[in-house]
């Protein structure tokens, strides 16, 4: 027992010696390798003769006080030579200079040796800069990872200009062509936003909240809501703006697909169809931009570098002013597919005899779900579907309707606009046909923001004669 206790004492003593020795070794390593950790950022900036211009800017804007705080920062400090050609108007305007300086400082520590993949970092200016290894935006880090007591200094060979975001550039830059700009600026309006509303009561009839007048809506832009918010600094966008003659050319090409009752409404619908595909999420500079980009709405946008008139860098992307961007109509107008089970209403309530069936299609080798209404007992029974954004063009209509529940053939038909306004012929639904069937053609003579379709049964009350069955309906635009 005495021997065991003595061994424990010796082990503890040796562990203490090793621990103390390890501490001394660690302290020695810190003192040798990280002596700059005792020097604050501002003192290091002031001591570097290659950074005197930027240091003076930091002091003038009051950022010297911020950089002496206990918070850690990364300072991307441009060399004196890099600031020699800086626009004098920036240095002469304290507000602009403050934004400029803030765009070189981020409230986190970034060591270039650790940034092995591209990152987008937020600066004190509220803008974001892209970093990767020894690069920040288009500036190179010429002297990396200068440790300091409260952060790190990266010395760079170019300034990081404070730029406007893509939307503000579109709105205010005088070199942006006027017609596309005017249309984009026309898209402002108020929309309902209960999250910001002040509730002052409850409607006694329907129980809905009553909001204080003027508090339940916000001013916003349709493009921000339905395409991309080009003011979002955390993301990046590539935007195409057409010269006025090119804009007119695209309008003339597409306006026949948006025929309405008035010139103004046709122009508005056509303009939206064009411009919604001209913003792409992601930054594509000229060195990497492909010859085709895919828009948010899966439209192929051709990019001919020879058509680029001007390139404008923004804080969250790039704008290309284009001599031409010619999108093919067949790329814009794709087939409209309506899943039969997603109907809006029935002409009579027959939910009790409506079935949603999970099936396997041996033709397409895929699973599907269809709708079957059987033994409903109503002649000309129908179900309604509503589709949106239907161009003024000829369509071919198809369906897949699987009759695997009886051997007898029956008929059904498709109505467009109302159950009886535009009727395609009754089409046979033969047993065990899993393929697409052509129903016929119809021309939608006027652009329809909303269009109703009706799947209608035979004019009979007999169960075997008047079923409705359908997997999907497909409308294919006929584009020459």
Whether residue 421 sits in one domain with residue 355: yes
End-to-end CA distance of the chain: 100
pLDDT of amino acid 29: 35
Q: Per residue in 372-404, pLDDT tens?
A: 999 999 999 999 999 999 999 999 999 999 999
* Distance, CA of 224 to CA of 235 (rounded, Å): 13
Whether residue 354 sits in one domain with residue 324: no
* Distance, CA of 236 to CA of 121 (rounded, Å): 12
Please report how many Cα atoms fall inside a 13 Å half-sphere around the Cα of residue 121, on the Cβ side: 28
CATH number of the domain residue 291 falls in: 2.30.180
Contact 321, 241 (CB under 8 A): yes
The residue out of 307, 331, 355 marking a domain boundary is: 331
Q: Per residue in 351-373, pLDDT tens?
A: 999 999 999 999 999 999 999 99
Question: CB 462: neighbour CB atoms within 10 A?
Answer: 12
pLDDT along the chain (480 residues), means of 10: 39 38 37 66 96 98 94 97 96 97 96 89 97 94 94 97 97 97 95 74 80 75 96 97 98 97 96 98 95 97 97 98 96 96 98 97 96 98 97 97 98 91 95 98 95 97 98 96
pLDDT of amino acid 1: 38
Which neighbouring-strand residues pair with 406?
A: none
pLDDT of amino acid 216: 67
H-helix or E-strand spanning residue 282: none
The parent domain of residue 460 ranges over 336-477
Whether residue 136 sits in one domain with residue 84: yes
* Distance, CA of 90 to CA of 19 (rounded, Å): 56
Q: What's this model's pTM, rounded to 2 decimal places?
A: 0.83
CA distances from 330 to 257, 455, 477 (A): 12, 27, 8
* Distance, CA of 334 to CA of 330 (rounded, Å): 7
The residue out of 312, 331, 350 marking a domain boundary is: 331
The residue out of 156, 176, 194 marking a domain boundary is: 156
CA distances from 291 to 175, 303, 304, 306 (A): 25, 5, 6, 11
DSSP 8-state code for residue 431 = B
Q: Per residue in 2-49, pLDDT tens?
A: 343 434 433 433 344 333 343 333 333 334 356 667 889 999 999 999
* Distance, CA of 64 to CA of 42 (rounded, Å): 6
């Amino acid at each position: 027992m005495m021997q065991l206790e003595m061994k424990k004492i010796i082990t503890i003593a040796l562990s203490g010696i090793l621990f103390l020795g390890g501490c001394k070794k660690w302290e020695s390593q810190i003192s040798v390798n990280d002596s700059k950790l005792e020097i604050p950022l501002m003192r290091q900036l002031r001591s570097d003769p290659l950074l005197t211009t930027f240091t003076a800017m930091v002091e003038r804007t009051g950022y010297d006080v911020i950089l002496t705080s206990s918070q850690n920062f990364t300072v991307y400090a441009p060399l004196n030579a890099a600031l020699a050609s800086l626009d004098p108007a920036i240095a002469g305007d304290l507000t602009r200079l403050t934004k400029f300086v803030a765009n070189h400082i981020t409230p986190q520590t970034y060591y270039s040796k650790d940034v092995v993949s591209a990152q987008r970092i937020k600066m004190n200016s509220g803008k974001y800069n892209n970093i990767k290894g020894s690069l920040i935006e288009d500036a190179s880090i010429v002297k990396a990872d200068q440790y300091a007591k409260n952060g790190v200094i990266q010395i760079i060979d170019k300034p990081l200009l404070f730029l406007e975001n893509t939307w503000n550039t579109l709105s205010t830059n005088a070199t942006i062509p006027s017609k596309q700009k005017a249309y984009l600026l026309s898209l402002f309006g108020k929309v309902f936003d209960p999250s910001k509303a002040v509730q002052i009561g409850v409607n006694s009839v329907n129980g809905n909240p009553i909001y204080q007048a003027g508090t339940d809506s916000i001013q916003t832009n349709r493009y921000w809501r339905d395409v991309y918010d080009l003011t979002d600094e955390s993301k990046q966008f590539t935007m195409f703006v057409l010269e006025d003659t090119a804009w007119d050319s695209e309008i003339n090409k597409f306006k026949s697909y948006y025929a309405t009752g008035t010139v103004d409404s046709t122009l508005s619908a056509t303009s939206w169809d064009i411009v919604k595909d001209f913003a792409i999420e992601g930054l594509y500079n000229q060195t990497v931009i492909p010859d085709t980009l895919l828009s948010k709405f899966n439209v192929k946008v051709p990019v001919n570098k020879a058509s680029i008139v001007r390139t404008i860098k923004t804080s969250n992307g790039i704008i290309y002013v284009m001599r031409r961007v010619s999108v093919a109509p067949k790329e814009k107008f794709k087939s409209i597919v309506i899943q039969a089970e997603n109907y809006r209403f029935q002409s009579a309530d027959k939910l009790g005899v409506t079935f949603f069936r999970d099936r396997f299609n041996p033709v397409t080798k895929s699973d599907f779900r269809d709708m079957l209404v059987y033994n409903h007992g109503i002649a000309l029974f129908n179900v309604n579907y509503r589709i949106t954004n239907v161009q003024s063009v000829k369509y071919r209509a198809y369906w897949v309707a699987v009759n695997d529940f009886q051997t007898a053939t029956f008929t059904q038909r498709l109505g467009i606009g109302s159950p009886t306004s535009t009727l395609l012929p009754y089409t046979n639904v033969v047993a065990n046909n899993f393929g697409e069937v052509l129903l016929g053609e119809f021309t939608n003579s006027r652009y329809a923001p909303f269009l109703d379709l009706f799947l209608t049964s035979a004019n009979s009350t007999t169960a075997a004669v008047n079923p409705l069955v359908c997997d999907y309906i497909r409308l294919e635009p006929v584009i020459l």
